Amino acid sequence: MGSYLARQLSQLFITLFGIITVTFFMVRMIPGDPAQYMLGDYATDEALATLRAQMGLDKPVVVQYMMYMARAVTGDLGDSVITGRSALSEILQSLPDSTILAFAGLAIAVVIGVPMGIITAMRQGTWADTLIMLVALAGISFPVFWLGLASILLFSQELKWFPALGSSSGQGFWNAVYYLTLPALVLGVSVAAYVTRLTRSAMLEIIGQDYIRVARAMGVPERVIVWRLAFKNALIPILAIVGVTFAYSLGSAILIEVVFSRPGVGSTILKAVSARDYQLVQAGVLILAVGVVVVNTLLDLTYALVDPRMRKR
Amino acid sequence: MANDGFKVRLSRRQFTAAAVTTAATLSMGLSRLVQAQEAKTLRIRISSDIGNLDPAKIFQIENQSVATHIYNGMAKYDEATNKIVPDLANAWEVSDGGKVYTFTLREGVMWHKDYGAFTSDDVKFSFERVLDPKTGSSYAGQLSSIASIETPAPNKVVITLKAANSGFLHKMAAFNQGWIVSRKALADIGEEKYRLNPIGTGPFIFDRWTPGQEVRLVANTAYFGGAPKVQSIVFRLIRDETASAIALENGEVDIFFGLQQPEVIARLKGSANVTVLDRPANHTINLVLNTEVKPLDDVRVRQAIMFAINRDALIKGFFKDTKRAAFNVLTPSFPEYTEDVPHYNYDPEKARALLKQAGHTSFPLDLITPAAAPYDKIIVPIANDLMNVGIQASIKTLERGAFLQARGKGNIPTSITGVVGAPDPDSPILSLYSRSAFPPGLNTAHYAQIEDLIAQASAAPDEAARKVAYAAILKKTMTDVPVIPLYADNLYIAHTKKVQGFVQNSLFTVNGASVSLG
């Protein structure tokens, strides 16, 4: 177990190193000058030069990269050029909003998607299967921002059940629930489509196995076959699915944040990209990547809990 | 299995019904609870997040809208009439042939958050800070006519100018460089942190900023102009206009600032509970032509472009009459406005003839525009009009950061540029036509033919002489057409019927200080 954890951690670091490097060079490839963005149209050449020097933008990109890496290993990801505050704390401040949305969406997706996946797998070829898979196909095909806008039109404008805005500064748990429901539902439904399809194929693979056929031939009740024999074994691929969809739901959460005017890492990164706020973009992408890697590592560890065979590998 | 299925289907239907009812009741209960919390708060929609509230470096309408509530200037524009009226200064005298301005300051004005009393020293500090090259203020040029600032008493400021400047009070008005900051606050908070921890003397005090969500201000009950009628103002960030319209109709926001899309304007005009206001803005949207590149250096080519663009069709077709015709770079909200300039009605025949005369019947032309609505859209019919007369127009859409950089360098053939700001004619005229605004600056036309006229306007002894001088400038610039005014902007703001006493200004900012919630 110890070496397993060590291996996972070393992989985590390699992944992070790659992500930092790629984002570093990628954001610098976008045309546009952060100094000009900050100072606006009336900026003088001297003011621009001073600011560029302050931000270290006058040095060659490779030197900037070395300096950035040297600071990054100490946990210093630089200051945001928009706000002048530490980029890391800026992102961490908006992280809870994104995580809550992503987890709420994921939870809804699992609650909808896993049973649907099982139903369609067990009733393969029936009208229920066809219908659910059509709906799931629609769910995957409709972009999440479209679903968001459509649900605002339906639930906020027509039915007036939920607010058009996905957040407020009001305090209290119920206040948060009231504003979170619609964005979380939209995210959940869109991600559920994925979960359904993936669960269905995982279940289909399992029920095609010989031992299931034997159990059927022996007259084992269908309920036992589904839950005890098939589902339990399908749990590993389903867990893997949840890991993959977590990354997907974080990605969708970014779009949802913009549609529902919610704060979060997504809207922060969006703003940072358009302002050429390099440090903030890097910090944001890094934190999101860490989130995805950490969740997947945790899921890997739970495989070991669910399936004793995984521990030895 | 079949039996099971039937049972499941029945209970599923019941479950759905129960779930829908619960959701509806829950949402109504919750919405009541939530609305109770937000009484006495004025909520204003903004379309873009804030980033800098330091008057020396402030730009963008969202920052300026927030700052309007926090700061005062020596003088201010009356929101309704655009007249310059007293603000922190009670009165002023002009002496020495228009070179010396003596301001008498209002007494007993206190800075927000216990930063003490406002004095003449703060005024001196504010303006000298903007002028100091170390500050890197974009507005140093606005105050460049100042020779010295003296403070003979805590309530007296004497500003001596290098030469008489008939437009000087505009520079002292509460906007950008005109906003007064506290010396003590800047020293305490520090330059870096100050931009999001502003300290002013205005009707509202900066409370907190939640990035990506909102800016919250609380009422300054000790405000010298009287305590505001609402307890707080929240600037709520909502990017999408349709979502903003729904939020307004649902009462989730009270004022919809930055209303632009013709369809959304039409929709809100039909809403029972919403009032839609509009007012001519202080700016036009222009196509700036670089007069140093061939063949745009030929005035006939520039005039041909002017004749070739069907600006009326743009206003009627694209904007559905939500914008107005522009005859020069000023709009009717300026006292110096006149339409007594050369007019260029759509005439492709004339355009072709002029191009033929100039010997440039066909040439490539890049149209540079920011990737922002509506500019990236209106450029398409414009390019089409130009192609119609033989110009091979191609559209180059640049994302904001890249656009600012390209325009800052100034070596672009054309540029879509508007000068948003105060009703100070120097603001568009100097920015677009003066040598002082050569890149860096907005004069990507590289135009320098009216320097003497600008000097004359500045030295004009009275209002009448000023009007004559600016009329000459407008006439000359519309003959040379380095800048093509495409349309005069018209500002739309919508609010719910709950909002009372709101005055829309022409500055492209929103000011909710006078509002009460019924």
pLDDT band at residue B319 using 50, 70 and 90 as cut-offs: very high
Q: Which of A247, A260, A211 is nearest to A232 (CA)?
A: A211
The pLDDT of residue B10 = 45
The 10s digit of each residue's pLDDT in A99-134 is 888 888 989 988 998 888 888 888 888 888 888 888
Measured between CB atoms, which of A83, A156, A175 is closest to B34?
Answer: A175
**A&B contacts, CB < 8 Å:** 178
> What is the average pLDDT score of chain B?
89
The pLDDT of residue A43 = 66
Q: Compute the nearest-CA separation of A23 from chain B (Å).
A: 18
The pLDDT of residue B29 = 61
Q: Mutate which of B210, B238, B240 to disrupt the A interface (most A C-beta within 10 Å)?
A: B240
The pLDDT of residue B219 = 95
Find, in chain B, the residue whose alpha carbon is nearest to that of A51: B136
Find, in chain A, the residue whose alpha carbon is nearest to that of B48: A271
The pLDDT of residue B33 = 55
The 10s digit of each residue's pLDDT in B257-292 is 999 999 999 999 999 899 999 999 999 999 999 999
Hey, what are B301's tokens? Answer: 């080519």
Contact in structure between B321 and B315 (CB atoms under 8 Å)? yes
The 10s digit of each residue's pLDDT in A1-49 is 567 778 777 887 888 888 888 888 888 877 777 777 776 666 667 777 8
CB B213 to CB A169 under 8 A?
Answer: yes
The 10s digit of each residue's pLDDT in B442-484 is 888 999 999 999 988 888 888 889 999 999 999 999 999 999 9
> What is the average pLDDT score of chain A?
82
Residues 221-250 of B with CB under 8 A from A: 234, 236-240, 242-243, 246-247, 249-250
The pLDDT of residue B18 = 66
pLDDT at residue B401 above 80? Answer: no
Measured between CB atoms, which of A31, A41, A97 is closest to B442?
Answer: A41
Q: State mean pLDDT over A81-107.
A: 84
pLDDT at residue A212 above 90? Answer: no
Measured between CB atoms, which of A153, A163, A267 is closest to B212?
Answer: A267
Find, in chain A, the residue whose alpha carbon is nearest to that of B237: A261
Higher pLDDT, B28 or B485: B485
pLDDT at residue B440 above 80? Answer: no
pLDDT band at residue B70 using 50, 70 and 90 as cut-offs: very high
Q: What percent of chain A is modeled with pLDDT above 70?
A: 94
What residue has token string 């994921």? A106
CB B247 to CB A163 under 8 A?
Answer: yes
pLDDT at residue B489 above 90? Answer: yes
Longest distance between any two alpha carbons in chain B, whole Å: 102
DSSP readout, B341-383?
S------HHHHHHHHHHHT-SS-EEEEEEESSTTHHHHHHHHH
Measured between CB atoms, which of B59, B140, B196 is closest to A83?
Answer: B196
DSSP readout, B63-109?
HHHHHHHH--BSEEE-TTT--EEESSEEEEEEETTTTEEEEEEPSS-
Hey, what are A73's tokens? Answer: 């290993």
Residue B330 has, within 13 A of its CA and on its CB side, a CA count of 26
Q: Which of A234-248, B228-242, B296-310, B368-382 has the lowest mean pLDDT?
A: A234-248
Residues of chain B with C-beta less than 8 angstroms from the C-beta of A259: 240, 243
Q: Compute the nearest-CA separation of B34 from chain A (Å).
A: 6
The pLDDT of residue A224 = 84
Q: Residue-wise over A155-187: b if at least 16 C-beta within 10 A, else e?
A: bbbeebbbbbbbbbbbeeeebeebbbbbbbbbb
Query: How many helices and strands (H and E) does chain A possess?
Result: 14, 0
Higher pLDDT, A51 or B296: B296
The 10s digit of each residue's pLDDT in B137-172 is 778 878 888 999 999 999 999 999 998 888 899 999
Q: Compute the nearest-CA separation of A307 from chain B (Å).
A: 31
**Beta partners for B217?**
B206, B233
Helix, strand, coil percentages, rounded to 5, for chain A: 80, 0, 20
Contact in structure between A188 and A147 (CB atoms under 8 Å)? no
Question: What is the distance between the alpha carbons of residues B271 and A90, in angstroms, rounded to a whole number?
Answer: 39
Measured between CB atoms, which of B38, B57, B212 is closest to A264?
Answer: B212
Q: Which residues contact B185 (CB under 8 A, 6 or more apart)?
A: B111, B113, B115, B194, B199
Q: Compute the nearest-CA separation of A7 from chain B (Å).
A: 38
pLDDT at residue B34 above 60? Answer: no
